[in-house]
Structure formats: C-alpha cells, structure tokens
Amino acid sequence: MLDFLHLLNVGPASEMSLELAPRLNLITGDNGLGKSFLLDVAWWALTRRWPHDMNPALTSGYPAKPIDPKLTASITFVVRSKTRTIEYSSSYSPRDEAWVHAITHNFRRRRVAPAARARNRRRVVSRSTSLAAPESRRPCG
C-alpha cells in the first residue's frame, strides 16, 4: 500500500506531497492542478512502469520529467506491506533519461496486540491535501 508520495521539481508544481489515509482517499481540485499526474506517479511507484508504457493507446501517463532540467528532480515514496515499510527515493538521471531508485529506509513492522489492533480500526483518520499552490488558494465565501 502506498502511504506517502513527495515530488520535487516534477509535475505541475515545483514541490508536492501527498500523505494517504489507510482506506479511502479523495483527490479534488481545479483542472490542471495535477490530480491525474499524481495517480500516474502513484502507479509508477507501485509498479515501476508508467501507464503509457503499459498501454501506448493512452493519451496520458507518459514518463515524468523534471520541470527544470538544471535542478535536481526526485520522487520519494513510502510503501507498506504486512511485514515492513520501505521508503524509496528516486532521482532523475538526465544522461539516462530515466529514474534511478534507492531504498532510503527499511522498517520492519512490529507486532500489535489484538486489542490494540481493534482500537486502531475504530480510530477515524482525516487528512486533507491541497494540490493548489499557496498563492493560488482562494478564500471561501
């Protein structure tokens, strides 16, 4: 399961972070803010293949490239399984025109007692992420 995604110098904004909740996540925003792009990067993080590489008939899902080729571009993400949580960091190699992966943290999951597991299931988690850049956020009302 994908827990976290951080993009630097990639996509429609110079920096984006997305922290995902354990179950349902809603991504909303105006056109052109990067909702579909985030889904493409999430797919790549989980499969290491871009959607367009799997199906060339798609009109989106092309491999991500840096916004500014002179600056460092990175995609960092955290993937959780039943036994461990792993953080990966990928940087863009202009020479290879590809993303180079590295494991930055490898955490083993500790066993949780059944009573604590039941308490955790009842806890409601609410997270909100805005895709709009801070200067483009409009006040409500």
Mean pLDDT of 24-29: 92
Mean pLDDT of 124-141: 42
pLDDT tens digit string along 51-71? 988 888 988 888 999 999 899
Does 82 map to a domain?
yes
**Quick one: pLDDT at residue 109?**
57
Over the Cα atoms of the chain, what is R_g? 17
The overall average pLDDT reported for the chain is 80
Does 123 map to a domain?
yes
Using alpha carbons, select from 138, 136, 141 the residue that is nearest to residue 32: 136
Say which CATH number the domain at 90 has. Answer: 3.40.50
**Sign of the CA dihedral with 54 first, then 56, 5, and 66 last:** positive
Does 21 map to a domain?
yes
Does 97 map to a domain?
yes
Task: Give 45's pLDDT tier (boundaries 50, 70, 90).
Answer: very high
Structural domain for 63, as ranges? 2-136
Does 29 map to a domain?
yes
Least confident of 23-37, 93-107, 125-139: 125-139
Q: What is the DSSP letter of 62?
A: P
Mean pLDDT of 38-49: 92
| Whether residue 114 has pLDDT greater than 80 | no
Does 130 map to a domain?
yes
Spatial neighbors of 55 by CB under 8 A, at least 6 apart, are 61
| Residue 118 structure tokens | 């039941």
Q: b or e along 78-104 (b: 16 or more beta carbons within 10 Å of the residue's beta carbon)? A: bebeeeebebbbbbbeeeeeebeeeee
Does 102 map to a domain?
yes
Half-sphere exposure of 94 (CA within 13 A, CB side): 8
Which residue has better confidence, 114 or 68?
A: 68
Q: pTM for this one?
A: 0.70
Total domains, the chain: 1
